[in-house]
Structure 1
Amino acid sequence: MSWDYFAYFAAAALLLWGAGASAAWRGKRPVAVYTFTLAGLAVFFGFIVAMWISLERPPMRTMGETRLWYSFFLPLAGLITYSRWKYKWILGFSFVLSLVFICINLFKPEIHNKTLMPALQSPWFTPHVIVYMFAYAMLGAAAVMAVYLMWFKKKEIERKEMDLCDNLTYVGLAFMTLGMLSGAVWAKAAWGHYWAWDPKETWAAATWFSYLGYIHYRLGRPRACRRALTGLLISFLLLQMCWYGINYLPSAQGVSVHTYNLN
């Protein structure tokens, strides 16, 4: 499968996700929401699988390839949130976020080749990246909810709405923890140590502790909603630095073993 076909698969998936988001927003029967959204996920995942076969490796090496997974997991996270809490707008937000990342891949595609450095030729490579991308999607949904509550909601923030942020953070942090643990085991096999305070690892630790701080603050100060949401958004900014921002910092160039995804 050539990268040239990405636009066609992406357009089809976006049309289906948009139809699902529209059906949810208009209060249509859930079957329409699930049918359109799941069909879009199937189309997009079909392209990922085809790229996997074509590259003869998991499409997870470059930033463009990880954006593929993030674009896939965002509607999935939105559908999970819609299924559990029936917020009809969440699929619309996940659709817009997926559209943004897909557009980045369309206008600034990364180099997609078959080359994998030895450290990436590990059985831990695929589960580590997939777990992290799902964690990022869930935490992205929590950040979207925080933005909605802080700037778009006209009435007082309700407890059930904060519970949604909390639950999304719980799930996201749990998967992030699994990602860090799998990464530590992978690092031990590849470089001989579990943790070395590499710049990427340092930002990962800062992100993990930030989300943990949000959870503890919510437990200790359940009524301080806006302060907690501010902390949640700060945590999401740290997550962005951990994901891709670190690649552009001078401190990581020639030092971090995680900057291979720029090549």
Structure 2
Amino acid sequence: MIFLKFENFLNNSIFTLLFLLMIFQWIYIIIFPNKNIKLFTNLGILVTNFFLIGLLLLRWLNSGHFPLSNLYESLIFLSWTFVIFYIFLNYFFSNNFEIFGALLFPIILFIYSFANFSIPQELQNATPLIPALQSNWLMMHVTIMMLSYCSLLIGCLLSISFLVLNFKNIKIFKKEKSYNFKNLQFINNFNYLNELIDIDSNLFLENKFIKILDNLSYRLLTIGFFFLTLGIISGSIWANEAWGSYWSWDPKETWAFITWLIFAVYLHSRIIKGWSGIKPAIIATLGFFIVWICYLGVNLLGKGLHSYGWFNT
């Protein structure tokens, strides 16, 4: 009973803090860039981080196993990893990261709200592990996969931010090209579109912050790809131990492989082809939606060994 009351207190406090952090970051960027607001925001992020750690530890003590056994706990863990990544990034890029925080914290608030208000209460309760999950692989595999999702999603979000900040530059370039375009004869529209996409990336990387976004996105996606590869390997070993097969083309496994392919293409384009800027950012934007399908879509809507879902019951 005491555990439940304290868990409810932490839940309500975290939700309130996330909502206030989102509002104050928007105020800082759009209306009133005051140092006191930034200080309050940073303090609130640290408090939220400790509250999330406390909530996860409380569920661990209450259930007797690592708190990543169901969708609710994985969403809480994902929210925490987002906050940890943001604290780390903001520490090194404190002068440039307010805009990114204003984009990231609405996503964290949405994830946390979905976990607490959309998942049925009976699926939120801490329960004993089913036989297939009673393994030492639980902590390793699921933690690695959650770290991969977090780093991939943040890296993709940085790429999306990169594209948004470059949108005005593209419009300017199109205006500059419009006169010549109108006077060219026998030109192919598709070739012209390719010409717009093939613009020298240096044209779009003149701003220091934009360069940081592009480079940081690349590094985070590389880390995420590494974790994803480890997660798939550890998951296949665990699957063989639990179900007698390393790979069964379960919907979750299939979409994990598709996700791996998308980011393999992204890294190939950057490392082998030498792309930077617009082109790989477009691939990463596609990857953003693929990760969500792999993480939530398959689990909720698909039918397989990894399904959580109450949508299809």
TM-score when normalising by structure 2: 0.72
**What CA deviation, in whole Å up to 9, does each residue of 1:199-223 have, x standing for no partner?**
2111111101110110111224445
Distance 2:23 2:43 in 1: 10
Structure 1 residues 188 and 143 mapped into 2: Cα distance closer, same or farther (>3 Å)? same
Paired residues of 1:185 and 1:194 also in contact (CA < 8 A): yes
Q: Deviation per CA, 1:65-94, whole angstroms, max 9, x where unpaired?
A: 211011111111122222334432223333
- Alpha-carbon distance in 1 for matches of 2:163, 2:76: 29
Q: Which residue of 2 aligns with 1:226?
A: 278
Task: Give the corresponding residue for 1:137.
Answer: 150
Residue 127 of structure 1: aligned partner: 140
CA distance in 1, matches of 2:108, 2:129: 27
Alignment counterpart, residue 235 of structure 1, candidates 276, 281, 287 = 287
Q: How does 1:149-228 map to 2 (within 5 A)?
A: 149-153=162-166, 154-155=168-169, 157-158=204-205, 159-223=211-275, 225-228=277-280
- Report the 3-state secondary structure (helix = DSSP H, G, I; strand = E; otherwise coil) of the residue aligned with 2:127: coil
- Within 2, Cα distance between the matches of 1:27 and 1:176? 39
Aligned to 2:160: 147
Describe the SS at the equivalent of 2:255: helix
Q: Which runs of 5+ in 2 are unaligned?
A: 170-202, 206-210
Task: Look up the match of 1:63.
Answer: 71
Give a deviation string over 1:207-261, Cα, whole Å, max 9, x none. Answer: 0111011011122444553221111111222211211211344xx42xx2112x3
Q: Identify which range, 212-221 or 18-27, moves more after superposition.
A: 18-27
Residue 60 of structure 1 aligns to a residue in which SS? coil
Aligned to 2:187: none
Indicate if the aligned counterparts of 2:156 and 2:221 stay in contact, CA closer than 8 A.
no
Larger CA Rg, structure 1 vs 2: 2
Measured on the aligned residues, the alpha-carbon RMSD in Å equals 2.8
Shift of 1:190: 0.9
Q: Does 1:99 align with 2:109?
A: yes
Contact map agreement 2:151 2:223 (CA 8 A) in 1: yes
Partner of residue 73 from structure 1, selected from 65, 69, 81: 81
Aligned match of 1:262: 309
Q: Residue 33 and residue 14 in structure 1: after superposition, are their counterparts in 2 closer, same or farther (change >3 A)? A: closer
| Aligned partners of 2:14 and 2:52 also within 8 Å | yes
What is the TM-score when the length of structure 1 is the normalising length? 0.85
Q: Percent identity?
A: 23
**Count of residues in correspondence between the two structures:** 258
SS state at 1:54 partner: helix
The one-letter amino acid of 2:229's match is T
1:105-157 Cα shifts (integer Å, max 9, x gaps):
23213412413210111111122212211211111111211221112444453
Distance 1:7-1:68 versus aligned 2 partners, 3 A rule:
same
Q: 1:9 to 1:49 in 2, by over 3 A?
A: farther
